[in-house]
Amino acid sequence: MKIILAVNAIKPPLTGIGLYTWELANRLPSMPEVKSLKYFSSGRWINDVASRLEQNTSALAARRQLLRNPIAVAAYRRLSPLLLRQRLKTFSDHLFHGPNFYLPPCAGPAVATIHDLSIFRYPECHPPERVAFMQKEIPLSLSRANFLITDSEFIRREVIEFFNWPEARIRAVPLGVADKYRPRGSAESQAIMDKFGLRYQSYALFVATIEPRKNISTLLSAYEALPIAIRNRYPLVLAGDYGWRSEDTHRRIDKGQQAGWLRYLGYVSETDLPVLFSGARGFVYPSFYEGFGLPVIEAMASGLPVLISNRSSLPEVAADAGLIVEAEDVEAMTEKLRVLLEDDNWRAGAVRRSLDIASRYSWDLTARNTINVYRDVLGSVSD
Would you say residue 257 lies in a domain? yes
319 shares its domain with 222: yes
150 shares its domain with 210: no
Query: Which residues form the domain of 280?
Result: 186-358
114 shares its domain with 204: no
What's the CATH number where 228 sits?
Answer: 3.40.50.2000
Would you say residue 61 lies in a domain? yes
The pLDDT value given to residue 117: 98
Cα dihedral 339→345→349→350 (10° resolution) = 20
191 shares its domain with 117: no
271 shares its domain with 293: yes
250 shares its domain with 346: yes
256 shares its domain with 298: yes
Q: pLDDT tens digits for the chain (383 residues)? A: 999 999 999 999 888 999 999 999 999 999 999 999 999 998 999 999 999 988 655 555 555 565 566 666 666 666 677 778 888 999 999 999 999 999 999 999 999 999 999 999 999 998 898 999 999 999 999 999 999 999 999 999 999 999 999 999 999 999 999 999 999 999 999 999 999 999 999 999 999 999 999 999 999 999 999 999 999 999 999 999 999 989 999 999 999 999 999 999 999 999 999 999 999 999 999 999 999 999 999 999 999 999 999 999 999 999 989 999 999 999 999 999 999 999 999 999 999 999 999 999 999 999 999 999 999 999 988 76
Sign of CA dihedral 349, 352, 356, 358: positive
Provide the whole-model pTM.
0.91
Would you say residue 339 lies in a domain? yes
190 shares its domain with 318: yes
When divided into structural domains, the chain yields a total of: 2
Sign of CA dihedral 84, 18, 218, 329: positive
240 shares its domain with 332: yes
